[in-house]
Amino acid sequence: MAQGSIHIGVGGWTYEPWDDSFYPANLKKKDQLSYAASKLTAIEINGTFYRTQTPKTFAAWRDAAPAGFLFAVKAVRYAVNRKLLAEAGDSIDRFMASGLDQLGDRLGPILWQLAPTKRHDPEDFAAFLNLLPPRVGDLPLRHAVELRHPSFACAEVVEAARARNVAIVLAGDSDYPMIADQTADFSYLRIMGTTERPKAGYAPRALDLWAARAKALAAGRQPEGLDPIAAPLADGTPRDVFLFVISGHKAANPAAAQELIARLS
């Protein structure tokens, strides 16, 4: 069965407990990204949410990752933490000009994460989606929005995102609304249920389930147990899938991601 590529990883690559649980002893800090990129197939960059980076930094990240590896990039907070999303144009432009194009073929989706307190305003949300640019330099862009207020779990939001080929993040194992509708030609999942007790953060049955769901999405099918608001995905069109193990018991997240990669190899 034809399917798209599946990229699996974690959020960031610097976290002190990982020095003992993920990285080899005596590995230099400067080599942690290269090591993480050799064990995972994607990383969601979180530092871009908090501060503006430079073209030199993006180029260094690109050079630290092997061919085929992809970075999802969390958009700067100034573009999303505001009363009116429709007024984010200048912040979006500055973020796009910060050097994203230096990631080259390592650039994956851009993640626009809204605050949990941000409610759905149909006109404002549609205006924001219209601000998301199709390209940066010569690179086509893929956009994903993480909608963390329950008011976004409605058909109107699904239709707005689908009309613009913007993916709605599927937030799994969390307190956020899990919107399982596929609204773009790729899928973006963030699963947040790792705990301390299983060595890999998730029990084997849960890892099997998320691996099966990623495979179903990559094959253009609606995964079992993920009911959409609108019609289920059933067109069989292959799509790329990005799945990140985020939050939860963060110390175990790299182990969970590696277990998922092993199941999909």
Specify the pLDDT at position 234. 76
Distance CA 185, CA 175 (A): 26
Q: Which of 188, 253, 257, 239 is nearest to 2 (CA)?
A: 239
Specify the pLDDT at position 56. 98
Q: Give the angle subtended at the CA of 161 by the CAs of 90 and 102, to the nearest 5°.
A: 50
Q: What are phi and psi of 225, to 5 degrees?
A: 85, 0
208: Cβ contacts below 8 Å, ≥ 6 apart: 263
Per-residue pLDDT of the chain (265 residues; tens, 9 = 90+): 679 999 999 999 999 999 999 999 999 999 999 999 999 999 999 999 999 999 999 999 999 999 999 999 999 999 999 999 999 999 999 999 999 999 999 999 999 999 999 999 999 999 999 999 999 999 999 999 999 999 999 999 999 999 999 999 999 999 999 999 999 999 999 999 999 999 999 999 999 999 999 999 999 999 989 999 998 887 889 999 999 999 999 999 999 999 999 999 8
Specify the pLDDT at position 101. 97
26: Cβ contacts below 8 Å, ≥ 6 apart: none
DSSP state, residue 232: P
Specify the pLDDT at position 1. 62
DSSP state, residue 8: E
* Token pair recorded at residue 49: 């949410």
DSSP state, residue 170: E
Contact criterion met (CB below 8 Å) for 172 and 210: yes
Q: What are phi and psi of 263, to 5 degrees?
A: -70, -25
CATH topology (fold) of 6-264: TIM Barrel (3.20.20)
Specify the pLDDT at position 134. 98
Contact criterion met (CB below 8 Å) for 39 and 18: no
Where do runs of H (alpha helix) occur along 107-179? 122-131, 155-163
33: Cβ contacts below 8 Å, ≥ 6 apart: 13, 43, 61, 64, 65
Axis-axis angle for helices 122-131, 155-163 (nearest 10): 20
Where do runs of H (alpha helix) occur along 97-144? 122-131
Specify the pLDDT at position 106. 98
